[in-house]
Amino acid sequence: MKVWLFDYDLTLYGDEERYVINSLDHRISLFVQKTVGGDFESAHRIRTDYLEKFGTTLAGLMAMNGTDPDEFFDFIHEPEYLTYPKRAPEKLALLQGLQGPRYVFTNGRHDWSEAGMAHMGIAPAIDGVFDLKMMDWVGKPHESAYEKMERWLARVWPERCGAMPGWECSMPADKRDIVLLEDSLRNLEPAHRRGWTTVLVNPSVEAPAWVDFHIPHLMNLRDILPVVSS
């Protein structure tokens, strides 16, 4: 039995829908501009600089500007300014066919990924969302995020699968049974160090040797599923 963990942005939806994350990034840059002043272009540069140095733009805003995380997410998640992924029944079928619990592991607040999954129609295939707030606002690739995820899995997996006949309800003794699908190599590295199975979902990045599997799109999981599941 595997535990399936999915990043949300550019993983559960692909690079062909990059306009989704672009709509969110625009709101983030606007929030940075509102916080630090200046023009939009300089705010955009600060956003990307914080992302590179701190792992997330929010982490940079918290460290450098004392930003309240919920205020940040309330601003960037206003639905009327955002674009969501298209409906994807083929993804629903793929996800529902996976044996084991399926969770989203995201550096966003849960409402962004939940809204997107609702638009895609894949929410019934996901058993829960482990979001940045549950990581105490310190997200991937910080080691603490992965430690907190493991502790959370130890609590929720038995509760989730206890009502499902035939499922063995305990944390995997072998951490390779935790499978993380991510578009970011930086966010996969700590998972690799902890012994999880890593799947890079990215059509434009070359995978280093330590990545277990590399696919261009979520739907290509079907191609490697017999090996990943073994």
In three-state secondary structure terms, 90 is helix
> What is the predicted pLDDT for the residue at 1?
79
**Which H or E element spans position 104?**
strand 102-105
Contact residues for 161 (Cβ-Cβ < 8 A; gap 6+) = 101, 167, 168, 169
> What integer pLDDT is reported at residue 172 of this predicted model?
59
- Above 70 in pLDDT, residue 96? yes
User: What would the mean pLDDT of 48-71 be, rounded to a whole number?
Assistant: 95
On whether the CB atoms of residues 202 and 216 are closer than 8 A, the answer is yes
Whole-prediction pTM: 0.91
pLDDT at res. 36: 95
- 6 DSSP β-pair partners: 104, 181
Which phi and psi (to 5°) does residue 130 adopt?
A: -100, 105
> Is the CB of residue 37 less than 8 Å from the CB of residue 133?
no
